[in-house]
Amino acid sequence: MSRLADTLREAGQARRALLMAYLCAGDPSPVQSAQALVAAAEAGADILEIGWPFSDPVADGPVIQAASQRALPHTGRAEVLEVVRQVRAGSQAPIALLGYCNPILRHGLQETVRDLASAGVDALVVADLAFEETAPWREACQAQGMSVVPFIAPTTQGPRLEAIAAAADSFVYAVALLGVTGQRLEQSASILPVVARLRQHTAAPVLAGFGIGDGEQAALWRQRGLDGVIVGSALVQAMVEGGAQAVGAKVRAIRSGLDNLG
């Protein structure tokens, strides 16, 4: 996890907003998705989030669901690991693997985490894993030098929020709205009171995700006091429209929005 820890620390010291860029492994092919992820890092993404395609991605909106459907026929566990290895060969940016419980547990938690770490993954983001069930996942990941990234949502409160804060060993994923992934015109502020309470219990950076798709929206979250943003659907759509080059251009635009708030 040293790559991730170093990136988070350096961004904090420089007061630089973090940008995590998501693309689905295997969309439209393993090689092309790896190339686009490397392009995202070169364009200014601090952390790369690689999606493990799944048949029932309940947290995702239509854009990312479609990416999974395109990838599934030719992208399984072996191909996901190969995408990670290809990205790691082309970039030293930290990698977070976004997945769902079923594909990971199908091959065994310990074995899968070990293989992900060996390929170059620094953190695990599991969309359908309840926080109360994360203990064995955190134990398996910590043994391999990986982090399990916890979520907070506008509904998170009380002792649960404090427990999430205590478990945060890298950063916290703030789900900015109630619903599924996908760019929105309106940026809800309902997560902000939860973030304020979380910060009373942890110094871990907090990144906002869900609904963010351009530089202006990213800048808004930075102005609201978040440490960075997570962008997925807008990059998946850019990949559909123009491949790695379009992904790089989109990342540069979002990076510019974060870096030039004035």
Residues forming the active site: 49, 60
The gap from C-alpha 173 to its chain's centroid, in whole angstroms, comes to: 8
**Position 67: which residue type?**
A
Strand partners, 208: 174, 229
Q: Determine the Cα–Cα distance for residues 62 and 134; give it in Å rounded to an integer.
A: 27
Show Cβ contacts of residue 107 under 8 Å, excluding neighbours closer than 6 positions.
77
Count of alpha carbons within 13 Å of 217, Cβ hemisphere only? 22
Show Cβ contacts of residue 149 under 8 Å, excluding neighbours closer than 6 positions.
96, 123, 124, 125, 170, 171, 172, 173
And the tokens for 246? 């379009």
100 in Cβ contact with 54 (< 8 Å): yes
Count of alpha carbons within 13 Å of 232, Cβ hemisphere only? 31
**Position 205: which residue type?**
P
